[in-house]
Amino acid sequence: MIINGVTIDATFAEAFPMKATRIIITAQNEKWALIAAQSMTGFATSVIMCGCEAGIDRVLEPFETPDGRPGVAVLIFAMGGKTLAKQLETRVGQCVLTSPTSALFAGIESAIKIPLGKNLRYFGDGFQIGKVIGGKRYWRIPVMDGEFLTEATTGQVEAVGGGNFLVLGQSQAQVLSACEAAIEAMNKVPNVIMPFPGGVVRSGSKVGSKYAALNASTNDAFCPTLKGATQKTELSTDIESVMEIVIDGLTKQDIDKAMKAGIQAVCDLGEANGIRRISAGNYGGKLGPFHFHLQEIMA
């Protein structure tokens, strides 16, 4: 398959089950809602070392939020429910409770509930006040700028992590520009995040290492400087840069839509802008049960 001069490899991205939740952060204006959201999603690129993967789903208009103020929807993913709950509690406690004018609400409904403000209320030192409105429990916690309003719990749902595709091109600048175009398109797709810095990862990894202490190491097959040093190279002589976009989503269908939007944006730039191939990372189907076949997605 070739789109605008870009070869779409006959391969698939491999992804795995995760647990996820969505929360809504509001503030007196969009600036402060974003500050809280960006703070709580920091150091959340990969479960390999960060404990969770998190990012901004989208900015919300006042009519879309529970308290009628500007808001931001955040998605957070983890490998298990206990880890998800712990990461959520720690991050909102340190980054949302502390952020001026913020309030915090559940962003997804589920039969499985995890604490949101349920434990944060103890920061109120006995002065906190509980309210049940419309069958939902909220806590009003006194803070120095007034009150921090938080919903007690949010929903936990099944999700998918690790969808991905690789952009291969003639130069670092050209590949980065293509990835920026892909992220811009993918940010318009709901229910997904691209958790790495700016949505792009240049240090794609493989499972395992020659060093026993590491469970992941550089993906030498796609490192341009290792073409002559590794027998596993996947790169032709004209490829001088490779970057990866990783996608987490609430469903497989959400990731399908995001991958299609991103790959199409890259292909729109095409061969004329130095883009040669689109590929993907997989481990022969051994890593996870969710497979995203590039040519099927782009058919």
How far apart, in whole angstroms, are the C-alpha atoms of residue 225 and residue 192? 32
Mark which of 125, 157, 189 sits at the end of a domain: 157
How far apart, in whole angstroms, are the C-alpha atoms of residue 207 and residue 200? 19
Q: What is the pLDDT of residues 94-126, one digit of tens each?
A: 999 999 999 999 999 999 999 999 999 999 999
The pair of structure tokens assigned to 252 is 């497989």
Mean pLDDT of the chain: 96
pLDDT band of residue 264 (cuts 50, 70, 90) is: very high
Mean pLDDT, rounded, for 2-31: 97
pLDDT band of residue 56 (cuts 50, 70, 90) is: very high
pLDDT band of residue 253 (cuts 50, 70, 90) is: very high
Domain match, 262 and 208 both: yes
Domain that holds residue 185: 2-14+160-298
> In the chain, how many domains are there?
2
How far apart, in whole angstroms, are the C-alpha atoms of residue 119 and residue 111? 19
- CATH number, domain with residue 247: 3.30.70.520
Q: What is the pLDDT of residues 27-53, one digit of tens each?
A: 999 999 999 999 999 999 999 899 999
In the predicted structure, residue 284 carries a pLDDT above the cut 90: no
Mean pLDDT, rounded, for 271-286: 92
Residue written as tokens 């040093």? 229
Mark which of 157, 178, 200 sits at the end of a domain: 157
How far apart, in whole angstroms, are the C-alpha atoms of residue 233 and residue 134? 59
In the predicted structure, residue 13 carries a pLDDT above the cut 90: yes
Confidence at residue 155, expressed as pLDDT on a 0 to 100 scale: 98
How much of the chain exceeds pLDDT 70, in percent? 100
